[in-house]
Amino acid sequence: MIPTTYPSREEIARLSASMLLEVGAVHFNAREPFTHASGKKAPTYVDCRKLISFPRIRTTLMDFLACTVMRDAGFEAFDNIAGGETAGIPFGALVAERLELPMTYVRKKPKGYGRNARIEGVMTEGQRVLLVEDMTTDGGSKISFVEAIRETGATCAHTAVIFFYDIFPDTRDVLGGHGIALHSLCTWWDVLDVAKEQNTFDEETLTEVEKFLRNPTEWQAAHS
């Protein structure tokens, strides 16, 4: 069923952040920072993949994501939903089911045999495609996925994610420069606010995390 009622944007952000904390998808550790895929250190890590194992939370978040996209982009804005390999595939399928649209997925790179395709499923020229992923940091992977979609002759001007870092100031501008609008449910700032309210982490940890969020480059330089 297509969800047509939803809380305010602010309540969606608060509830989404609370759910990420509830299932243990959020990790803060300033004493032993995490190494991200970029090789840089950070006291924060979020694992949205865990959400697929919690049906009630998964269902609620996907309703939120479908409603957010319809509210921001339009109720008849898309013809196809594409999930990004790999974490975006289950969420893409769930959003496609809610919007009653075909689902496809995009590989990070050609598979190297057979059709050597990056797009799996049926995507046709002229279709308006929504790219769905679990999260975005600086938007780089989204641009690669969108370029693969556009090579089919389809259009892709929107991407939707559960979690957006929102600590790198030029992310939206970079995506916008490639003709991509970003839609998200919550950010690190929402998670930090809820974590403070719930006393999920000790004060020292939250203070250090906030220092990182306010100036990640400076924090990483000091902890390299």
Q: What CATH number is associated with residue 196?
A: 3.40.50.2020
Is 115 labeled as ligand-binding?
Answer: no
Mean pLDDT over 38-52 rounds to 91
Rounded CA-CA distance 28/113 in Å is 41
Asked whether residue 3 is assigned to any structural domain, the reply reads no
- Which of residues 126 and 111 earns the better pLDDT score? 126
Find, among 48, 65, 19, the residue nearest to 158 by Cα: 65
Is 135 labeled as ligand-binding?
Answer: yes
Rounded CA-CA distance 119/186 in Å is 28
- Which of residues 30 and 58 earns the better pLDDT score? 58
Tell me the whole-structure pTM to 2 decimals: 0.94
Mean pLDDT over 165-189 rounds to 95
Rounded CA-CA distance 165/140 in Å is 13
pLDDT score of 82 more than 80: yes
Q: Is the peptide bond before 59 cis (omega within 30 degrees of 0)?
A: no
Asked whether residue 39 is assigned to any structural domain, the reply reads yes
**103: exposed, middle or buried (C-beta count within 10 Å: 0-12, 13-18, 19+)?**
buried
Asked whether residue 218 is assigned to any structural domain, the reply reads no
pLDDT value of position 116: 56
Is 108 labeled as ligand-binding?
Answer: yes
Asked whether residue 175 is assigned to any structural domain, the reply reads yes
Place of tokens 């959020």: 26
Residue 139: pLDDT band with limits 50, 70, 90: confident
- First-to-last alpha carbon distance for the chain, in angstroms, is 49
Asked whether residue 35 is assigned to any structural domain, the reply reads yes
Domain with 179, as residue range(s), is 9-211
Asked whether residue 222 is assigned to any structural domain, the reply reads no
Is 138 labeled as ligand-binding?
Answer: yes
Is 47 labeled as ligand-binding?
Answer: no
Asked whether residue 114 is assigned to any structural domain, the reply reads yes
pLDDT value of position 113: 62
Asked whether residue 224 is assigned to any structural domain, the reply reads no
Residue 36: pLDDT band with limits 50, 70, 90: confident
List the single range of 14-28, 38-52, 64-78, 118-132 with lowest mean pLDDT. Answer: 38-52
Is 139 labeled as ligand-binding?
Answer: yes
What total number of domains does the chain contain? 1
pLDDT score of 145 more than 80: yes
The dihedral through the CA atoms of 186, 191, 192, 198 has a sign that is: positive
Q: Hey, which bits of 55-146 come out as E strands?
A: 80-84, 103-106, 119-120, 128-136
Find, among 24, 23, 26, the residue nearest to 190 by Cα: 26
Is 107 labeled as ligand-binding?
Answer: yes
Residue 115: pLDDT band with limits 50, 70, 90: low
Rounded CA-CA distance 58/55 in Å is 5
Is 71 labeled as ligand-binding?
Answer: no
Helix/strand/coil for 27: strand
